[in-house]
Amino acid sequence: MDGLTQDMFRIQIETSLESYAVQMGASLLQSLDQFDFLIFDGNVPSVRDSFAIGNISVLAAESNKNLDTAELILTKMKRVGLNRKSKVLVVGGGVVQDLATLACSLYMRGVSWSYEPTTLTSMIDSCVGGKSSINVGDSKNLIGNVYPPQTVNIEPDHLRSLPTRALIDGVSEGVKICFARSDKDFQKFVSSIPDPRNLDATALGNAIETSLTSKKWFVEKDEFDNQERRLLNFGHTFGHALESASGFKFSHGASVALGMLAAIHFSRTSHIPRVALLSEFCLKLLSPISQEIRGNARAVDWSTFDSSVRSDKKNTFGFLHLILPNDSGFLEEIKIPVDDNALESISASLKHAIGQVSS
């Protein structure tokens, strides 16, 4: 048995809305007769579009993560006759999860859903917490809600077909979560990936479990994202704005990694040992796609970047809210006035981060 599957795990998530298990195990598609409807990413090689139950295939593109696509899902759910006791299975990555979470929460005020993530990002991060996030125009993740699944099943075989870029995306989110949680979790995660320049899908089981255990703490401590869980937005103000400003040429995970490097530069904390270790890890992680980053950087519209930073959903009237390392190297939320100087410093920090990787 290979390194990815030898250490099976089960993590119980307790929230006020739902108690559910996240476990590594055989694909839920093998027990499809337990469900009434399937929402899936048709691009996943192990998923076929011929099923005995009602289903809808979703193209997992950022441009489809909107209310129009959610309406298509809801319309199909109604057409096949789902009721409030129906059970929905969702198979796909973060885009499919976001759309399905929102649709399942809205259909008849809520139907139960189970989730099988198919990307490393969804396995290592988004499968825990039950958050949905939908884009509106150029604003990423502007609307959404919290609606946990009944169960989450991680089938590691899905990782075998993923390109290196998709593995980089997932590891970016995982190292962010563990860095935000504690030194112990951060060191454990980094140790599980000795060389982030050479990711091996069959050696990521420990990293997934460490990240989800860290994420569990945040979700149970701050279910609705009001205090501690907000620290998981580290790198996201910079990263989300970069995605929007590049027309989503930058993937989410790579944008978050660049966003963390930008936040480190902005906060002038690169000399602090644990922050320096994170910076070194991110630079190595992004090095295999450095040419891609250099090319995509030419497509960035910096005026769009500024407007996206201004409209970040964490902001309050007249103030930006940034998650930054403090003088001790741990994360905290900083509130700064929105003005041209602040926006110039934020964009300069991201440009610096891009230059670090692509030089």
Which pLDDT does position 93 carry in this prediction? 96
Q: What is the mean pLDDT of residues 69-79?
A: 98
3-class DSSP string for 143-161:
ECCECCCCEEEECHHHHHH
Q: What's the whole-number mean pLDDT along residues 96-105?
A: 98
Instruction: Give the confidence band of 131 by pLDDT, cuts at 50, 70, 90.
Output: very high
Per-residue pLDDT tens over the stretch 239-250: 999 999 999 999
**Residue 1 pLDDT > 50:** no
* Interatomic CA distance for residues 255 and 253, integer angstroms: 5
The amino acid at residue 352 is H
Mean pLDDT score across all residues of the chain: 94
Question: Over the stretch 53-68, which tens digit does the pLDDT of each residue have?
Answer: 999 999 999 899 999 9
Instruction: Output the CA–CA distances (angstroms, integers) from residue 166 to 175, 203, 250, 252, 285, in the order listed.
Output: 15, 15, 12, 10, 12
Tell me if the domain spanning 10-160 has CATH number 3.40.50.1970. Answer: yes
Equal CATH topology for 10-160 and 175-358? no
pLDDT at res. 6? 45
Q: Are 212 and 13 in contact (CB under 8 A)?
A: no
Task: Supply the angle between the helices 94-106 and 67-79 in degrees, to the nearest 10.
Answer: 60
What residue ranges do the domains of the chain occupy? Answer: 10-160, 175-358
- Is the CB of residue 158 less than 8 Å from the CB of residue 117? yes
Name the 3-class secondary structure at 320: strand
Q: Could you report the per-residue pLDDT of 249-300, keeping only the tens digit for each?
A: 999 999 999 999 999 999 999 999 999 999 999 999 999 999 999 999 999 9
Residue 61 neighbours by CB distance under 10 Å: 11
What CATH number does the domain located at 175-358 have?
A: 1.20.1090.10
CB 108 within 8 A of CB 84: yes
